[in-house]
Amino acid sequence: MAEVNGSGVLKQAAPSETHSMPSRTGLSTIEEEPGHDDSMVGPIVPRAKKRRKLDNEQEYLHALPSADMYERSFMHRETVTHSAMAIQTEFLVTASTDGHIKFWKKRPQGIEFAKHFRAHVGPVKDLALSHDGSLLVSIAEDKSIKIFDVPNIDMMAMLRLSYLPACAAWIFKKGDSKSKLAVAERDSGRIHIYDVRSGSDEPLASFEVHRAPVVAMRYNAAHDSVVSLDQKGMIEYWSAGDYSFPEDSVDFRTKIDTDLYALPKAKAAPQSLDISSDGSQFSIWCSDRRARVFWYRTGKLRRVYDESVEAAAELQKSESATYRLDAIDFGRRIAMEKELIADPDAPHQNAIFDESGNFLLYSTVLGIKVVNLVTNRVCRILGKVENTERFLGLALYQGIPGTGGRTKRMGAGISPAESDPMLVACAYNRQRLYLFSRREPPDTDEVATGRDVFNEKPTLEDTGPGEGGEEKEAALVLPRGAVMHTTKGDITLKLFPEECPKTIENFSTHAKNGYYDGIIFHRVIKGFMVQTGDPLGDGTGGQSIWGGEFEDEFSRNLRHDRPFTVSMANAGPNSNGSQFFITTTAACPWLDNKHTVLGRVVKGADVVQMIEKAKTDRFDKPFEDIKIVNIDVKMSVD
């Protein structure tokens, strides 16, 4: 096995691998084969080893970003921690520490914002796309799993867990009868399999292939199997069908014949995992700041790249201008690197393959390296001049925008006008996602046209308190609309903050905090109303955001004079908590001045009627649970 320092220069190599390694000088050492003379007496001079070469290397590189600087950056409200690229559906998805998820659509040049979800109460811990790019899963420490329909940019389901999840992976291919999702427990080695389209929170299967908690899983579609890693560095293979060892897809029977014990031997903990598009190899980024590349079928190490602080310091002493930095700049970057290593909550970086599987991309102190795995050389470094950002997680797009992610293979002639390769990077302690392309950023100092887009409004903490009570005024801005995502469909509400500000503040805050997520419609009376908002699910629970109950807010302008009126449920005067109902009959005048009207249904009345028609027991509770997936609040309603 060969280990390479940060420059891609050979450090050492086992005899079996030496033939594929370049020389220490990095120069081509191909020599003519010496002629054989039968009359020669004595030992024969060994034949010079040829340096490996990647055919059509420039064409492969043309399909990758090449600009020295990032072209654009966009904002989240909090630190961006995850990014995922759905090539087939041409969507980028990003997540941040406040639990928010954003969808971005790939355009012929760059991306365009599509939709924003307040998915979780706390930080997003993992974000995973299905192999066909149709489904997205997000997990967090709130013990919930959110499932998104990517092409329709919609939240379609939610799972409530009895355990803290660590990571997740989709384990199905397009055309499979079940959309299976694997979720690992944070505090044990158990893995649970769910069918997200079944509507059940119960797993199809649960098993334990690891003795330590699993930290990463990836589906290998080419072999219909899964690679999983645990905290102790153990690497396991298991079938996506019956969850057993996939004997037919590998060339070994025991790990003794492989290098799959390399991480425990090095006392390195895995932090991220990626699998090449053809399934032939996988990469692991480890706690010892090394990127390791394995062959899937044999379990043998292909490459190890050392990006530790010590390796960076050694490179700084080299004479190569490619790897040298200004002394002050280098010192600043090393200080940030040490801070990153010491931060237990810092997002993990990754090492990803390009579409061909010939190149590995990962972030370093110097910038983002693009390494040719065949020649074992660093081909380019992106973002080296960006000395204030330490890039981390990466996501790569190499398709042709507008064709469903289709790419042209080598030899077909990729036109620069068609393809728009894009690399998306998160950065340490940054609220932005950074886009690298083949274009350098525009040369301008104007904020409105600069490369750093201010797509989020500054918070009060960003701007400080204003004059003359501006801080108080900002705090009273309330939403005027909401979209309630249910298991039966979406219901759009118009809210009335002027008439009932306290009620709207209570409702919208509960919605933002995920209080209503997963709550059932516990009371349904045909020809009258549908009721929800009780976390206990029996009509006896729920409280306001202030704890306990709050007063009624009646208005002469808001009456129960039409169907699809949204009102607060209560047990008497001034006993409002979290429960609310939607009427389905023409008029209910007996409810006036007894229940606060907070909104009207402006879209999705058919969904309300569908819920109203559900079969119920003698307590008016539907036999089949109908749930609120989540509620998105909006400042206006279309």
Show the 3-state SS of 75-114.
ECCCCEEEEEEECCCCEEEEEECCCEEEEEEECCCCEEEE
Lookup: tokens for 459 = 């918070």
Lookup: tokens for 233 = 């560095």
Q: Range with the lowest mean pLDDT among 29-43, 241-255, 393-407?
A: 29-43
Burial of 26 (0-12, 13-18, 19+ CB in 10 A): middle
Taking the C-alpha atoms of residue 305 and residue 124, their distance in angstroms, rounded to an integer, is 29
Q: Identify whether 595 is a catalytic site residue.
A: yes
- Average pLDDT over the chain, rounded to an integer: 87
Q: Range with the lowest mean pLDDT among 231-240, 292-301, 584-593?
A: 584-593
Q: Identify whether 197 is a catalytic site residue.
A: no
Query: Alpha-carbon torsion 534, 539, 541, 547, what sign?
Result: positive
Average pLDDT rounded to a whole number, residues 500-505: 94
Question: Would you place residue 45 in the very low, low, confident or very high pLDDT band (cuts 50, 70, 90)?
Answer: low
Task: Provide the pLDDT for residue 250.
Answer: 97
Q: Identify whether 523 is a catalytic site residue.
A: yes
Catalytic residue among 161, 164, 340, 591: 591
DSSP per-residue string spanning 367-415: -EEEEETTTTEEEEEETTT-TT--EEEEEEE-S-TTTTT--PPTTS---
The set of residues, in sequence order, having a beta carbon less than 8 Å from that of 459 and lying 6+ positions away, is 77
Lookup: tokens for 328 = 């002050």
Amino acid found at 5: N
Q: Are 492 and 608 within 8 A, CB to CB?
A: no
Q: Are 155 and 172 within 8 A, CB to CB?
A: no
Task: Provide the pLDDT for residue 148.
Answer: 96
Q: What is the pLDDT of residues 603-621, one digit of tens each?
A: 999 999 999 999 999 999 9
Q: Which residues pair with 600 in a beta bridge?
A: 494, 565
Supply the DSSP symbol for 452.
Answer: B
Q: Is the pLDDT of residue 504 over 70?
A: yes
- How is the chain split among helix, strand and coil, in percent rounded to 5? 10, 35, 55
Taking the C-alpha atoms of residue 405 and residue 65, their distance in angstroms, rounded to an integer, is 16
Residues of the chain with pLDDT > 90, as a percent, come to: 73
SS3 per-residue string spanning 7-51: CCCEEECCCCCHHHCCCCCCCCCCCCCCCCCCCCCCCCCCCCCCC
Task: Provide the pLDDT for residue 465.
Answer: 39
Taking the C-alpha atoms of residue 260 and residue 233, their distance in angstroms, rounded to an integer, is 9
Q: What is the pLDDT of residues 219-277, one digit of tens each?
A: 999 999 999 999 999 999 999 999 999 999 999 999 999 999 999 999 999 999 999 99
Catalytic residue among 148, 359, 507, 581: 581
Question: Would you place residue 3 in the very low, low, confident or very high pLDDT band (cuts 50, 70, 90)?
Answer: low
Task: Provide the pLDDT for residue 455.
Answer: 86
Task: Provide the pLDDT for residue 399.
Answer: 85
- The secondary structure element, H or E, covering residue 484 is strand 481-486
Task: Provide the pLDDT for residue 257.
Answer: 94
Q: Identify whether 394 is a catalytic site residue.
A: no
Phi-psi region of 413 (alpha: psi -120 to 50; beta: other; left: phi over 0): left
Instruction: Report H helices in 219-279.
Output: 262-266
Taking the C-alpha atoms of residue 62 and residue 85, their distance in angstroms, rounded to an integer, is 20
Catalytic residue among 478, 595, 600, 630: 595
Q: Identify whether 292 is a catalytic site residue.
A: no
- CATH code 2.130.10.10 for 57-436: yes
> What is 480-634's CATH number, 2.60.40.10, 2.40.100.10, 1.10.3720.10, 3.30.540.10?
2.40.100.10
Query: For the chain, what is the radius of gyration of the CA atoms?
Result: 28
Supply the DSSP symbol for 589.
Answer: G
Question: Would you place residue 540 in the very low, low, confident or very high pLDDT band (cuts 50, 70, 90)?
Answer: confident
CA distances from 44 to 35, 41, 421, 472 (A): 11, 9, 50, 89
Catalytic residue among 207, 245, 252, 528: 528
Q: How far apart are the first and last CA of the chain?
A: 61
H helices, E strands: number in the chain: 8, 37
Token pair 């010892």 is found at 288
Q: Identify whether 61 is a catalytic site residue.
A: no
Lookup: tokens for 249 = 């897809």
Output phi, psi for 317, to 5 deg.
Answer: -85, -10
For the chain, give every residue range classified as CATH 2.130.10.10. Answer: 57-436
Half-sphere exposure (Cβ direction) of 277: Cα atoms closer than 13 Å: 16
Of 165, 113, 170, which Cα lies nearest the Cα of 140?
A: 165
Other Cβ atoms less than 10 A from the Cβ of 341: the count is: 13
Average pLDDT rounded to a whole number, residues 290-318: 95
Catalytic residue among 88, 220, 358, 531: 531
Question: Would you place residue 430 in the very low, low, confident or very high pLDDT band (cuts 50, 70, 90)?
Answer: very high
Q: Are 352 and 423 within 8 A, CB to CB?
A: no
Q: Is the pLDDT of residue 449 over 70?
A: no
Q: Identify whether 570 is a catalytic site residue.
A: yes
For the chain, give every residue range classified as CATH 2.40.100.10. Answer: 480-634
Catalytic residue among 570, 576, 579, 630: 570
Q: Are 483 and 590 within 8 A, CB to CB?
A: no
Task: Provide the pLDDT for residue 638.
Answer: 66
